[in-house]
Amino acid sequence: MGAVRPSMQIQEPSRSASATEDVSLPANEFDTSLKPFLNPTRSILPNRPAWKRTPKMPMKLDLNLMGLPVCLIDVCEDGFRFAGLNDAATRVCGLENAAVAGRLVEECLPPAQAERLVSRYRSCTRTGRMEDFEQEVDFGFGRRWFRTSLTPLSDPDTGLVTRLMSVSQEFTATKRLQRELEQLAFQDALTALPNRRRFDQATAERVAQAACTHKGFSIAVVDLNELKSINDTHGHRIGDEAIRHAARILSGLMRPRELVARIGGDEFALLLGADTRGELDRRLDEIRNFVACRLETPVGPLRVALSVGGEVWALGHDVYDTFAAADAAMYREKQIHRLVRRFDGRAA
């Protein structure tokens, strides 16, 4: 005779129970819109007496028969304790009932994960309402994402929430696909920097934050000089390497809460924390000095230079006007570079 699969054991501080959870519901709690039709002799006129409540109909549910992970949590004076997991939950998280039943959530899960769940449990217990949320967890064999429904179960005599039932559904594959799509939507393929769409989004976020902080910021526009000449002379592969080189240098110069994005072929946009003209000028000089260096390529060293312009945004200004002013300053500097290059060529 084959071994009998044990049922899920629900452990409570003072008693133990099986996986068959009593979820008794009043017989008339299914669909109130159908009540008048359950008894054809009853009038459906609005002035008739209210529908009389009937005794509770016992309903037994074996949680081990459910294909979704189910977890029962007891609400205790000292915190939230696991009452038990169904078979699907033990397969997903790798925890056994014997290891978690009767123990506090903090004793069974990593601190950060336990803190997030306990916060949810407190909210559900306090409001007595069902809560839906997404959670990212790491069971030691890779990160996974779940949508979880948390249902409070109340004592019929006191009305107090004494137990919570958590039902989860994994959507890891969907989440990974979503992140890949977000990456395609907000990341530049050549440099892996944020693209123009992400830069505009970040700028709008900084404008919204400024309403609370009353602190401005700066926008700078950077353009690589003579990239067309590099492409024409050495090919686009070397030109692409020059763009990636500039992207690496610019990324290394960013401070916390600053952003560099590639917004065009050889153009970059910078979101800087400088909120005064003097501070912005110092940052732009720093950028010029770092990027104006020699780049080693398969065809030999190339000198990569850039033109950069910037403008300070202040509360109440139009951010598009700020960007346009920075762009115009960059083109003025680029024109100076062209004149200097032309003069040097004639002198030679």
> 332 and 227, same structural domain?
yes
Residue (of 72, 70, 82, 322) closest to 210 by Cα position:
322
| C-beta of residue 68 within 8 angstroms of C-beta of residue 1 | no
Separation between Cα atoms, residue 9 and residue 18, nearest integer Å: 5
- Burial label, 320 (beta-carbon count in 10 A; 0-12, 13-18, 19+): exposed
Determine which of 39-48, 266-275, 289-298 has the lowest per-residue pLDDT on average: 39-48
Separation between Cα atoms, residue 330 and residue 263, nearest integer Å: 14
- Burial label, 63 (beta-carbon count in 10 A; 0-12, 13-18, 19+): buried
> 320 and 204, same structural domain?
yes
Q: Which CATH number characterizes residue 90's domain? A: 3.30.450.20
pLDDT at residue 343, rounded to an integer: 59
Residue-wise pLDDT tens digits, 76-95: 999 999 998 999 998 888 88
> Considering all CA atoms of the chain, what is the largest pairwise distance in Å, rounded to the nearest integer?
109
Check residues 229 and 164 and name the one with the higher pLDDT: 164
> 160 and 214, same structural domain?
no
Which of 120, 141, 175 is the last residue in one of the domains? Answer: 175
> 234 and 171, same structural domain?
no
Separation between Cα atoms, residue 313 and residue 41, nearest integer Å: 75
pLDDT of 254 strictly over 90: yes
> 329 and 195, same structural domain?
yes
Query: In sequence order, what E strands does 94-175 have?
Result: 131-138, 143-154, 161-170
Q: Which CATH number characterizes residue 286's domain? A: 3.30.70.270
Q: Distance of CA 185 to CAs 151, 176, 202, Å?
A: 36, 14, 14
Token pair recorded at residue 257: 């809460």
To 5 degrees, how large is the angle CA 143–CA 144–CA 145? 135
Token pair recorded at residue 180: 């890949």
Print the domain residue range for 159. 63-175
3-class SS of residue 321: helix
Determine which of 41-55, 118-132, 260-274 has the lowest per-residue pLDDT on average: 41-55
Of the pLDDT bands very low, low, confident and very high (cuts 50, 70, 90), residue 54 is low
Q: What phi and psi, each to the nearest 5 degrees, are found at residue 19?
A: -70, -10
- Burial label, 59 (beta-carbon count in 10 A; 0-12, 13-18, 19+): exposed
> 191 and 165, same structural domain?
no
pLDDT of 120 strictly over 50: yes
Mean pLDDT of 102-129: 92
Amino acid at 108: C
Q: What phi and psi, each to the nearest 5 degrees, are found at residue 296?
A: -80, 125
Mean pLDDT of 98-119: 90
Q: Is residue 293 part of a domain?
A: yes
Q: What phi and psi, each to the nearest 5 degrees, are found at residue 264?
A: -165, -170
3-class SS of residue 293: strand
Separation between Cα atoms, residue 165 and residue 7, nearest integer Å: 17
> 309 and 222, same structural domain?
yes
Of the pLDDT bands very low, low, confident and very high (cuts 50, 70, 90), residue 73 is very high
- β-partners of residue 26 are 56
Residue-wise pLDDT tens digits, 128-157: 999 999 988 877 667 888 999 999 999 988
Average pLDDT, the chain: 81
Separation between Cα atoms, residue 196 and residue 32, nearest integer Å: 53
pLDDT at residue 24, rounded to an integer: 41
Provide the domain count of the chain: 2
pLDDT at residue 57, rounded to an integer: 56
Q: Is residue 194 part of a domain?
A: yes
> 229 and 126, same structural domain?
no
> Whole-model pTM?
0.55
Residue-wise pLDDT tens digits, 312-336: 999 989 999 999 999 999 999 988 8
User: Concatenated DSSP letters for 267-283?
Assistant: EEEEEE---SHHHHHHH
Q: CA Rg, the chain, in Å? A: 32
- β-partners of residue 57 are 25
Mean pLDDT of 230-239: 86
